[in-house]
Amino acid sequence: MASLTEYKKKRRFNKTPEPGPEKKRTKTGRIFVIQKHRATALHYDFRLEADGVLKSWAIPKGPSLDPKVRRLAMQVEDHPVDYADFEGVIPEGEYGGGTVMVWDYGTYEPEETVDVSAALRKGELKFSLNGKKLKGSCRTLAEIAEDEGGDIKKAATGDPKKIPSRTGVKRRKKGSKKKVWHSKGS
């Protein structure tokens, strides 16, 4: 999944507030983001910058703060680097419709390699995360939906059909916590 072709195919950018499919690189070239996403089912999306995009995985049970605890991560389409700042509501009827919250954000350091792309292709990338874990977040999923003109109770139930189509808001909170994640296969 080396390009943004699949990302572009799944979205109507005149309907969704998600960023367009543009390849670019951040200053460090090594950002990550974890987004809490209440779509059809509540899950977390883990995104790691490489090759001018965010390589992305859906994590149904969410990340673990304990590196000994393994969680299922299913690779999904690459996302644009600008998606790292996306927080808001994806409209009903759009791919991934529901509320998105930035849960953690920061940089990563690869271990045992300088070629992240090659390690990802082999399914053997090990890395450390230097995140800004959102403590209290100041905005829950329901609050994001409410800020976007939605119904708090319906957003909290996770019914994406009840979440309105409005533009997203970018927010991040400060704090720091170092975590270690390991990728084995896709």
- Write down the pTM of the prediction: 0.71
Apex 171 CA angle, 169 and 173, nearest 5: 165
The answer to the question of residue 25 being in a domain is no
Give the DSSP H/E element, type plus range, for residue 15.
Answer: none
Q: Is residue 54 part of a domain?
A: yes
Going from the C-alpha of 17 to that of each of 4, 14, 150, 168, the distances in angstroms are: 17, 8, 15, 6
Please give the tally of structural domains in the chain. Answer: 1
Digit-coded pLDDT (tens) for 78-123: 999 999 999 999 999 999 999 999 999 998 888 888 889 888 888 8
- What 3-state DSSP class applies to 3? coil
Give domain status of residue 23, yes or no: no
Q: Domain of 36?
A: 5-11+30-182
- Give a yes or no: residue 58 inside a domain: yes
Residue 168 lies inside a defined structural domain of this protein: yes
Mean pLDDT of the chain: 78
Residues forming a β-bridge with 46: 34, 57
Q: What is the longest distance spanned by two Cα atoms in the chain?
A: 47
The answer to whether position 18 is within a domain reads no
Contact 108, 30 (CB under 8 A): yes
Structural domain includes residue 102 = yes
Alpha-carbon distance of 120 to 102, in angstroms, equals 24
β-bridge partners, 79:
54
Q: Is a pLDDT exceeding 90 seen at residue 152?
A: no
Residue 16 lies inside a defined structural domain of this protein? no
Element (H, E) at 181: strand 177-182
Name the pLDDT band for 127 (thresholds 50, 70, 90): confident
SS3 137: coil
